[in-house]
């Protein structure tokens, strides 16, 4: 869900082994109204501002996400985007696992969050998460879902403080770094979202 700060050794290990926690939060309980930060949905007109924050992102990939109905929420400071998080419903491709996450009709999946280095440590990501949860609840969604690498402890701390909880874990392996991922373990609560591997 949130950009990880893994060490080189951890990144090397994840070329053949990937473990992710499934985290979720119920949206039918009272939610605190978001603060007064300027948070908007990213539109095509904002693409330059988005790419200024994330210059390594593909313009075509961002446009493809938007055209498929995925939403990107952006927090602005002084006319610049400094923090973003994506949200999607339905069936979502998870690049990190090369698999599809199949959500319930009232689930919203939050992913690919990023905060500008100069603005980290200011709880901006938590503000954006809270805004997405608030907005999704008002639109009839009942649960927010996210995936976090087991090694991403800082990201897990952020969402746990917002009332999220770990409901399960997926473990993937592949024989060589360029091979296909294989799901070797899936355990947790009965409400875990389904996964479908790429054929």
Least confident of 6-15, 139-148, 156-165, 182-191: 6-15
* 50 located within any domain: yes
pLDDT confidence band for 61 (50 / 70 / 90): very high
**What is the average pLDDT value for the chain, to the nearest integer?**
89
Q: Could you give the CA distance from residue 110 to residue 181 in angstroms, rounded to a whole number?
A: 22
Tell me the pLDDT tens digit for each residue of 149-166: 998 888 888 888 888 999
The CATH number of the domain holding residue 97 is 3.40.630.30
In a domain, 2, yes or no: no
Its domain, for residue 32, covers 8-197
DSSP states along 37-55: SEEEE--GGGHHHHHHH-T
3: in domain = no
Domain count, the chain: 1
With respect to residue 40, please indicate whether it lies within any of the assigned structural domains. yes
> Binning pLDDT at 50, 70 and 90, where does residue 192 land?
confident
Instruction: Find the mean pLDDT for residues 10-19.
Output: 79
Q: How far is CA 94 from the centre of its chain?
A: 10
Q: Is residue 12 situated within a structural domain?
A: yes
> Does any domain span residue 89?
yes
In-domain check, residue 1: no
């Amino acid at each position: 869900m949130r950009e990880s700060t893994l060490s080189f050794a951890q990144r090397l290990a994840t070329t053949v082994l990937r473990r992710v926690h499934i985290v979720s939060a119920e949206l039918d309980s009272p939610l605190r109204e978001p603060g007064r930060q300027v948070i908007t949905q990213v539109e095509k007109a904002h693409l330059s501002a988005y790419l200024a924050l994330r210059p390594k992102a593909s313009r075509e990939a961002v446009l493809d996400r938007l055209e498929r109905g995925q939403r990107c929420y952006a927090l602005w400071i002084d006319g610049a985007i400094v923090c973003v998080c994506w949200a999607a419903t339905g069936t979502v491709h998870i690049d990190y696992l090369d698999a599809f996450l199949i959500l319930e009709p009232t689930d919203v999946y939050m992913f690919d969050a990023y905060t500008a280095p100069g603005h980290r440590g200011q709880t901006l990501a938590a503000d954006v998460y809270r805004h997405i949860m608030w907005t999704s609840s008002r639109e009839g969604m009942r649960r927010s879902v996210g995936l976090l690498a087991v090694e991403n402890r800082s990201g897990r701390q952020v969402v746990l403080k917002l009332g999220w909880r770990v409901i399960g874990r997926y473990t993937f392996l592949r024989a060589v770094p360029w091979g296909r991922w294989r799901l070797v373990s899936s355990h947790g609560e009965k409400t875990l979202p389904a996964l479908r591997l790429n054929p």
